[in-house]
């Protein structure tokens, strides 16, 4: 993703899944290839640290791109904790968050409070 409109549309209309180092938002976009964008703010660190985090997240996404379904916009926001995370931790967080978000989009998740009785 490259434009602010794509990012804001994904974040506003999509589902969100958070982990220790990232927050992933995903939205269905019919008829398009899957596009992934990364948001790494100055809260993560200086330019060197932010670029290192972006490179690691890009690599984590490219490792799983073959298994991504087509037709999604995915926005990955790095949290400040990501500056100290290893590639393996970021990869794990990315794959877990992506799986959770796609499950929510498919409607396979339970609504909050489902299965709990309030007696």
Mean pLDDT of 3-12: 89
Could you read off the pLDDT of 63-87 as tens digits, one per residue? 877 777 788 899 999 999 999 999 9
| Mean pLDDT, all residues of the chain | 87
Q: What pTM value is reported for the model?
A: 0.83
Could you tell me the strand order of the sheet in which 15-18 lies? 15-18, 22-28, 72-78, 35-39
CA atoms within 13 A on the CB side of 37: 18
Going along the chain from its start, the domains and CATH numbers come out as 4-102 (3.30.230.10)
Whether 89 and 60 have beta carbons less than 8 Å apart is answered as no
């Amino acid at each position: 993703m490259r434009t602010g409109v794509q990012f804001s549309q994904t974040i506003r209309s999509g589902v969100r899944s958070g982990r220790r180092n990232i927050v992933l938002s995903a939205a269905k976009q019919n008829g398009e290839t899957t596009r992934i964008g990364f948001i790494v703010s100055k809260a993560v660190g200086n330019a060197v640290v932010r670029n290192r985090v972006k490179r690691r997240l890009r690599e984590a996404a490219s490792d799983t791109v073959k298994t991504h379904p087509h037709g999604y916009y995915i926005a990955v926001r790095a949290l400040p904790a990501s500056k100290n995370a290893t590639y393996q931790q970021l990869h794990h967080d990315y794959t877990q968050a992506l799986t959770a978000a796609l499950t929510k989009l498919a409607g396979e998740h339970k609504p909050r409070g489902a299965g709990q009785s309030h007696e």
